[in-house]
Amino acid sequence: MIEVGRLTRCEQSEIPSEGFNCVAVEKRTDWLLCHRCGSKSLATSHFLPASGKYYCPACIHYGRLTTTDYLVWQEETIAPRNITYRWEGQLTVGQKKIAEKLITVYQDKRDSLVWAVTGSGKTEMIFPIINHVLSSGGRVAVCSPRIDVCRELFPRIAAVFPDENVLLLHGNSEESYRFSNLTVCTMHQLLHFYHAFDLLVVDEADAFPYEGDEMLHYARKTALKKTGRNLFLTATPSRFLSQSLAADTEILKLPRRYHGRPLPLPQLIWQNHWENCQNYFFKKQLIQLLERLIVDSFVLIFCPSIAYMRQLYQELLKVYGESELIAVHSEDPDRKLKVANARKRAYQIVLTTTILERGVTFERVSVIVIGANHRIYTKSCLVQIAGRVDRKGEHQNGELVFMYNRKSGAIKEALAEIKLMNQLAREGEEGGM
């Protein structure tokens, strides 16, 4: 029952003689400290009178831990191994420089952050460092706050390391835990690990829900071995992410997209009535725009909320048939199937909330953001959405449209960042700051 680098709950009488252990929830005068999730809570509010125990409310979702529970784990010693590494693609000059630098920074025992514009091929750049760490006997986790991103990463990574029996873990995964030297998981899953990884790759490091979630930050820190290192990947670093980095973190920039074309700058379309999707003028303008775009591409429409998306879907159904139009959101039970169908281009128009902002690649796509000034659209979110356009294939005519009725700070910052990355790409400034 004692796992390497993974926490298991047990009673005091069950603590094994080998390995490490600690009390799960510690009572300190009038408050509780949980050693699994790092949360502090008030003792009096989390008391179980029947048993006289206290419990941690913050991570109860993962199985209740109390003041009489113990957490046990084992630590491992590592030895070099032979790794089957099967990747036949070619890195661009800029990617290669970063891939090599990641290995030297790791050997130097420092963290790194790769700021790579959307569509620059971030994933390929991490294969060499993963191979390096595995070959030296180390254990690697590639994680992301988003399940969709994990699902996309898993088959790509598993194909490159075919003998590693890569494990995919997330809240809805069919597979249960087993030891693997190479794990792809959501950030939440890191709560169950302890001093497990030599390298932790955090993809989409600025995405919700990781950003600002103290429990997930604690989980990331404790899942790493004491000698372990972080590698953060982002297409658009937030202020929060930049501030949370260790001072000696190596920051590497890749402004050039894989196909060499710049990120599209949005066309800003003023639409005073977007908040009411039944408004005549709004609908007229949107439909004119759709008619123009669907001639040449498939259209993704981002909506600021699920309720709004549903309303707009009903309005558009008056013009387009059910076979041309689909709506998909984060709580949609059929979302996996719908996204897969959308990628096969079964529809002309896809309405969505921000679930499709990251990690999903479509060909021949144009994008409309309705209400781009809505508070849900942060700078990172808008830049990510821009990256959906013209990501794949030969199609270069994808358009990006922001419909708005106030120029928000996020819109201004997104425009500035897109211009900066495009300028750096033109100047060929790759590989460092």
Return residues touching Zn ion (CB under 5 A).
Answer: 34, 36-37, 39, 56, 58-59
For the bound state, the minimum distance from the C-beta of residue 9 to Zn ion, rounded and expressed in Å, comes to 11
Which amino acid belongs to residue 254? L
How far apart CA 112 and CA 120 sit, in angstroms, is 17
Put the strands of the sheet holding 325-328 in their side by side order. 267-270, 400-404, 365-370, 298-302, 349-352, 325-328
Q: Given the DSSP bridges, would you call strands 69-73 and 20-23 parallel, antiparallel or unpaired?
A: antiparallel
For the bound state, the minimum distance from the C-beta of residue 49 to Zn ion, rounded and expressed in Å, comes to 20
Q: Of the candidates 249, 221, 217, 255, which has an alpha carbon nearest to the alpha carbon of residue 236?
A: 255
For the bound state, the minimum distance from the C-beta of residue 65 to Zn ion, rounded and expressed in Å, comes to 6
Closer residue to Zn ion, CB minimum distance, 58 or 365: 58
DSSP 4: B
Residue with tokens 């998909």: 328
Q: Are 178 and 167 in contact (CB under 8 A)?
A: yes
Q: Are 229 and 199 in contact (CB under 8 A)?
A: yes
For the bound state, the minimum distance from the C-beta of residue 168 to Zn ion, rounded and expressed in Å, comes to 24
Q: Of the candidates 344, 358, 391, 377, which has an alpha carbon nearest to the alpha carbon of residue 145?
A: 358
What counts of helices (H) and strands (E) characterise the chain? Answer: 10, 21
Closer residue to Zn ion, CB minimum distance, 37 or 133: 37
For the bound state, the minimum distance from the C-beta of residue 39 to Zn ion, rounded and expressed in Å, comes to 5
Closer residue to Zn ion, CB minimum distance, 61 or 86: 61
Closer residue to Zn ion, CB minimum distance, 7 or 301: 7
Closer residue to Zn ion, CB minimum distance, 69 or 124: 69
Closer residue to Zn ion, CB minimum distance, 35 or 379: 35
For the bound state, the minimum distance from the C-beta of residue 50 to Zn ion, rounded and expressed in Å, comes to 20
How far apart CA 137 and CA 170 sit, in angstroms, is 25
For the bound state, the minimum distance from the C-beta of residue 342 to Zn ion, rounded and expressed in Å, comes to 38
DSSP 19: S
Other Cβ atoms within 10 Å of 33 Cβ, number: 15
Closer residue to Zn ion, CB minimum distance, 56 or 113: 56
Dihedral over Cα of 333, 365, 92, 84: its sign: positive
Residue whose Cβ sits closest to Zn ion = 34
For the bound state, the minimum distance from the C-beta of residue 46 to Zn ion, rounded and expressed in Å, comes to 10
Closer residue to Zn ion, CB minimum distance, 56 or 400: 56
- For residue 239, give the H/E element and its range: helix 239-244
SS3 61: helix
Closer residue to Zn ion, CB minimum distance, 41 or 361: 41
Q: Of the candidates 154, 194, 278, 255, which has an alpha carbon nearest to the alpha carbon of residue 8?
A: 194
How does DSSP assign 9-64, residue by residue? EEEGGG--SSSEEEESEEEETTEEEETTT--EEETGGGEETTTTEEB-STTGGG--
DSSP E strand boundaries for 294-340:
298-302, 325-328
For the bound state, the minimum distance from the C-beta of residue 371 to Zn ion, rounded and expressed in Å, comes to 38
Closer residue to Zn ion, CB minimum distance, 25 or 202: 25
Q: Which residues have C-beta within 8 Å of that of residue 243, sequence separation ≥ 6?
A: none
Pull the structure tokens for residue 344: 């096969």
Q: Of the candidates 22, 52, 51, which has an alpha carbon nearest to the alpha carbon of residue 36?
A: 22
Q: Of the candidates 198, 174, 162, which has an alpha carbon nearest to the alpha carbon of residue 76?
A: 198
For the bound state, the minimum distance from the C-beta of residue 64 to Zn ion, rounded and expressed in Å, comes to 9
How does DSSP assign 360-375, residue by residue? ---SSEEEEEETTTST
Closer residue to Zn ion, CB minimum distance, 59 or 372: 59
SS3 403: strand
